[in-house]
Amino acid sequence: MQYCNHCQVKIRGNKERCPLCKNMLSADNSNGMRIYPQIPLGYDRHLVMRMLVFMSIVALVVSFTVYMLVPADINLPIFTFLGLLSMWLSIILVLRKRNNITKNIMWLVTLVSILSVLWDWRIGWKGWSLDYVIPAVCVAAIFTLYVTAKVMKLSARDYIVYFLLGGLFGIVPLLFILFGWLNVLYPSIISVAANIIFLSAIIIFQGENIKSELSKRMHL
């Protein structure tokens, strides 16, 4: 068995050159069993980021050009800038929190909600952020939590976190309804209903596991 000093792997047969790097092979004097290296699948992250930067610049230039050539009541460059800012903040957040799905979802919901309110306020308050965006984001977060829990086959400990997050997402649109901050009610009503269904499913199908986990933690 031959050995490649460059790839640090063993090669079966009597080859003179490594099939991976084409360097000359030497005799292997170790007793390990590793034949070929584990090469993880990946993508050119730097190329993707450059493409996103380029697309952002193009979007800003195009929006400014269109606004100058065809003036309108809506400030298109501001809209574009706020949209790109939201996109980049979301990307940065996903990259920083990529190892914790529940925390990632929580931060994304918070970020999108705050940005939508600021955006709504900046262009002249119309209330669409409270009427549509935040309830829609809460429903999407609840659905994502449910799918993630089913796909990843999470333990009871994780279901407790999901239970609390689901409850939090459901409270926000309910507060809008109670305080009379909405012009359109049905998105928030749908969001609250989806949250009730989600929490009911967690309690019915994972109630015993959650109770057992709480007993362990609380020493009940």
Last residue within a domain, chosen from 79, 96, 113: 96
Question: One-letter amino acid identity for 194?
Answer: A
Q: Average pLDDT in the 173-200 region? A: 90
Range of the domain at 83: 42-96
Alpha carbon distance, N-terminus to C-terminus of the chain: 61
Cα 123 versus chain centre, distance: 27
Q: Identify the band that residue 41 occupies on the pLDDT scale cut at 50, 70 and 90.
A: very low
CA distances from 14 to 4, 10, 26 (A): 12, 11, 10
**119-123 CB contacts, 8 Å cutoff, 24+ apart:** 119/82, 119/86, 122/78, 122/82, 123/74, 123/75, 123/78, 123/79
Grouping H, G, I as helix, E, B as strand and the rest as coil, residue 7 is coil
Shared domain check, 116 and 76: no
- 104-133 residue pLDDT tens: 777 778 888 888 898 888 778 888 899 988
Shared domain check, 85 and 145: no
Q: Average pLDDT in the 169-176 region? A: 88
Shared domain check, 203 and 128: yes
44 vs 41: which has the higher pLDDT: 44
Shared domain check, 2 and 77: no
Shared domain check, 120 and 55: no
Rounded Cα–Cα distance for residues 6 and 24 (Å): 9
The total number of structural domains in the chain stands at 3
Shared domain check, 82 and 12: no
Shared domain check, 215 and 114: yes
Shared domain check, 202 and 124: yes
Rounded Cα–Cα distance for residues 59 and 80 (Å): 7
Shared domain check, 154 and 111: yes
Shared domain check, 109 and 22: no
Q: Average pLDDT in the 166-185 region? A: 88
Shared domain check, 121 and 178: yes
Shared domain check, 110 and 215: yes
Rounded Cα–Cα distance for residues 205 and 215 (Å): 18
* Of 12-26, 113-127, 166-180, minimum mean pLDDT range: 12-26
- 133-164 residue pLDDT tens: 898 888 888 877 777 676 666 666 677 777 77
Residue 128, φ and ψ in degrees, nearest 5 = -65, -25
